[in-house]
A and B are shown apart, each in its own frame.
Chain A
Amino acid sequence: METSSTYTAQQKPSEIKPKDDVHIRVEGLTMAYDDLIIQQDLTFDIHRGEIFIVMGSSGCGKSTLMRHLIGLMRPAKGKILYDEKDFWGMNEKSRVQMMKNFGILYQSGALWSSMTLAENVSTVIEHYTDLPKDEVKDIAYLKLSLVGLTGFEDFYPSDISGGMRKRAGLARAIALDPKILFFDEPSAGLDPISSRKLDDLILEIKGSLGTTIVVITHELPSIFAIGDNSVFLDTETKTMIAYGNPKELLENPPQPVVREFLTRGEQ
């Protein structure tokens, strides 16, 4: 097993060999709802421009980790560093300013239901820029066209399908050309072809914009198709038990439960 590419619970954080250009660093993170610990001692790096997968079985705390990373939940212990700046250590104003660099695609799309698709995208642009209305509209239309929703600009979220809602959510997430994109279960509720198209779109975004992308998923085809690096959260031990490239983890699983997960329990 290569220690540089995989991390097991037995290793100490100091034993992990840091790669260059760390974009997000999670240090000794413990997540809890009051006294109920969800995950503890999470330590890993996410490098600039990579697609990082957070995987694990249902209920292991993947989405909770995302809520910590995007500023919706404060850690019970530990730090989250963006470009070496302590995200939860800074004041709220600075944190909100930093959140401007985030684009988030929620599991359900989370489009604002009282607005059209174009308004959903343009609201974000209007909030952070002083662009004239025409220009905001042009950018919103452009973003929608990038996700294949040309012609649907004036539709309301309730008028379109689940897959389209997800794509519209992605258009809103990339509205400000964020430096980091978070995807919460992007394939959930999508058919295999739509799911594959969304994977291609994620790869295109990474290729063209060099965005760091964090994907919360347990969809194996997506994990292997797009993941550069990953962390595996275990429900049983309530901590991470694997860290590394998903394909390498498949070849060299550090724990039986990781192999079982990555092979759908078939090996």
Chain B
Amino acid sequence: MRSQYCINSPNAPLTTFYFVSGLHFHRDHTGTRLDALRITPVSDSKGVLTVSLGGEWRYGVGTGHPTTLFDKQHSHGEIKKIIFVEDDLTFWDSSLISFVKKTQDSAKRKNVSVDVSRLSPGIKKLLEIASTIPALNDQPPERAQHSILLALGFSSMRWTHSFADTLEFIGELLLSFGRFFRGRANFRRVDFLQVLRDCSANSLPIVTLISFLFGIILAFIGAAQLKIFGAEIYVADLVGIALVREMGPMMTAIILAGRCGAAFAAQIGTMTVNEEVDALRTTGISPIDFLVLPRVFSLALMTPLLALYAIFFGIIGGALTSQIMLGISFTQFITEAQNILTPTQFALGLIKSFIYGILVAFAGALNGIHCGKSASAVGVATTSAVVMGIVTVVMAGAVTTYIYNLLGV
């Protein structure tokens, strides 16, 4: 009898598949015949299908699929029982177990009984183990489609929780400030100095590069527009005011949010995962005093200094562009900028950067402390820290600009 069903061989790219009278064998790319698995099904008039398993069953060479037994063996009507027997089975591995198990599962769905009692004890034992894994008592969490209103409700509840957590954190931070100024906070100077170095000296290269390029961009935009009105010299005013009052502090804060805020969240988040934060709490040491305060102080101190540094390099970039594009000399540029950049302008910019520094550190520390207990949670905390840091910095920038405007400064 020729082919009654087919055996899949998806994992054997180097072999060619042949089928003759229920015997399956493969040839490798050189044409050498490989010993292969054999499945010989014979059905009788009572609906009993006897499946002989023979040859060599090896992973990656080929395997059988039970649907072929059910779909193609109808010479004596409907199958009621399948009996597995061995016929010169020379080698088997999990591919055989998988085939028999899949047949058992398919048969169960079709109310067909399967007899494996004639297979060797090793195969029977593995089939038994594979079939007796107890079902979980707990059902997986429901992933039902919620209505929009329900989803809105859940989302509001999550937002409320998150808002409450943030308020609690602000409260703890304020208490911690109080303890610090009374000299009762558990504050390690070594940690403070370490964070200070990470946030300052190590950030200099990136701040230099970004601020210098930003100064060039600002001058380019200004030069193109002001040239139309013959007011090229005011490029110095534009670059100076923009950098000192707004963009210098904001750029620095955004760089620090990506660099230090993310690092804070990752460091504290990892400590949360490793139970180090729990260990602090149970020792009676406030994690806010110990971990958050040094970071908030570091950024509150370093962001204004780095902003000044960024402003300096931004102005250099602007002056260079003005010289090349507009022929304004370096001295002319600086003299014009000096006229507009009063100490008040610098003070306003530094106040902003002080606020930004606190916000970036706050976002990093908050997300680190509220980090979940898994490695992926650290990733989420880090991302949230950067996003929250940038959003709060931009929002604070808008609010302070509005206030400055109201005050007429």
Contacts and interface: CB of A to CB of B under 8 A. Distances in A.
B283 A107 contact: no
Nearest to A105: B279
Interface of B: 137, 186, 191, 194, 270-271, 274-276, 278-285
21 contacts: A70-B282, A72-B281, A99-B284, A102-B282, A104-B279, A110-B274, A110-B275, A110-B276, A110-B278, A111-B279, A112-B271, A113-B270, A113-B276, A114-B191, A123-B285, A124-B283, A127-B284, A128-B284, A172-B279, A235-B137, A236-B137
B284 A72 contact: no
B275 A107 contact: yes
A130 to B, nearest CB: 13
Given A72-B281, A108-B275, A113-B274, 6 more contacts: A104-B282, A110-B276, A112-B279, A124-B283, A127-B186, A172-B279
Contacts of B191: 114
Interface string A71-90: 11000000000000000000
Q: Which 6 A-B pairs have the closest CB atoms?
A: A110-B275, A110-B279, A106-B275, A96-B284, A110-B276, A104-B282
Interface residues of A, number: 25
A97 B278 CA distance: 16
A112 B284 contact: no
Contacts of B274: 108, 110, 113
Contacts of A72: 278, 281-282
A100 interface: yes
B29 to A, nearest CB: 47
Contacts of A172: 279
B139 to A, nearest CB: 13
Contacts of B281: 71-72
Nearest to B273: A108
B284 A100 contact: yes
B190 to A, nearest CB: 8
Contacts of B271: 112-113
Given A113-B271, A236-B137, A106 B278 contact: yes
Interface in A167-214: 172
A128 B284 CA distance: 9
B369 to A, nearest CB: 14
A99 B282 contact: yes
Interface in A222-267: 235-236
B285 A111 contact: no
Most chain A CB atoms below 10 A, which of B137, B281, B284: B284
Contacts of A236: 137
Contacts of B284: 96-97, 99-100, 127-128
A127 B278 contact: no
A97 B281 CA distance: 12
A67 B282 CA distance: 10
Contacts of B270: 113
A124 B283 CA distance: 7
Nearest to B281: A72
A99 B191 CA distance: 25
Most chain A CB atoms below 10 A, which of B191, B270, B275, B281: B275
Contacts of A67: 278
B74 to A, nearest CB: 44
Contacts of A124: 283
Nearest to A114: B191
B285 A127 contact: yes
A172 B191 CA distance: 20
A39 B408 CA distance: 62
Most chain A CB atoms below 10 A, which of B276, B278, B280: B276
A114 B267 CA distance: 10
A38 to B, nearest CB: 12
B282 A71 contact: yes
